Amino acid sequence: MDFSLPPELEEKRKVVRAFALREFADEKKRYYDEHEKFPFEIRKKAMEEGILNYGNYWDLLITIEELFRVDPGLGFSIFAPFFGNENILLLGNDEQKKKYLEPVLRGERIMGFAVTEPVAGSDVAGIASKLDKQPDGSYILNGSKMFITNGTIADQLVVVARSGPVPSEQKRHHNMSMVIVETKWPGVSTNKLYGKMGMRASDTAEVIFDNVKVPKENLLGEEGKGFYYAMNFFNISRIYVAAMAIGIAQGALDIIVEKAKKDKAFSSMEGTQFTIAEIATRIEAARLITYKAASFLFQFNPDPVLTSMAKYYAAETGTYATEKALLATGMDGALTSLERMFRDAKINEIWEGSSEIEELTIYRMLMKKLESD
Ligand X SMILES: Cc1cc2nc3c(=O)[nH]c(=O)nc-3n(C[C@H](O)[C@H](O)[C@H](O)COP(=O)(O)OP(=O)(O)OC[C@H]3O[C@@H](n4cnc5c(N)ncnc54)[C@H](O)[C@@H]3O)c2cc1C
Q: Which stretches of the chain bind ligand X, using CB under 6 A?
A: 83, 112-116, 121-122, 147-149, 196, 199, 204, 347, 350-352, 354, 356-357, 360
Minimum separation from the CB atom of position 1 to ligand X (A): 35
Minimum Å gap between C-beta 113 and ligand X is 5
C-beta closer to ligand X: residue 82 or 291: 82
**Which residue lies nearer to ligand X by CB, 89 or 360?**
360
In three state form, how does the secondary structure of the chain look? CCCCCCHHHHHHHHHHHHHHHHHCCHHHHHHHHHHCCCCHHHHHHHHHCCCCCCCCHHHHHHHHHHHHHHCHHHHHHHHHHHCCHHHHHHHCCHHHHHHHHHHHHCCCCCEEEECCECCECCCHHHCCCEEEECCCCCEEEEEEEEEEECCCCCCEEEEEEECCCCCCHHHCCCCEEEEEEECCCCCEEEEECCCCCCCCCCCEEEEEEEEEEECHHHEECCCCEHHHHHHHHHHHHHHHHHHHHHHHHHHHHHHHHHHHHHCHHHHCCHHHHHHHHHHHHHHHHHHHHHHHHHHHHCCCCCCHHHHHHHHHHHHHHHHHHHHHHHHHHHHHHHCCHHHHHHHHHHHCCCCCCCHHHHHHHHHHHHHHHHHHC
Closer residue to ligand X in complex, CB, 107/121: 121
CB of 303 to ligand X, least distance (A): 21
Question: Catalytic: which of 34, 352, 356, 371?
Answer: 352
Residue nearest to ligand X (CB): 121
* Annotation says 36 is catalytic: no
Closest distance to ligand X from the beta carbon of 119 (Å): 8
Nearer to ligand X, 39 or 333 (CB): 39
Nearest distance in Å: CB 315, ligand X:
12
- For ligand X, which is the closer residue by CB, 93 or 122? 122
User: Catalytic site residues?
Assistant: 352
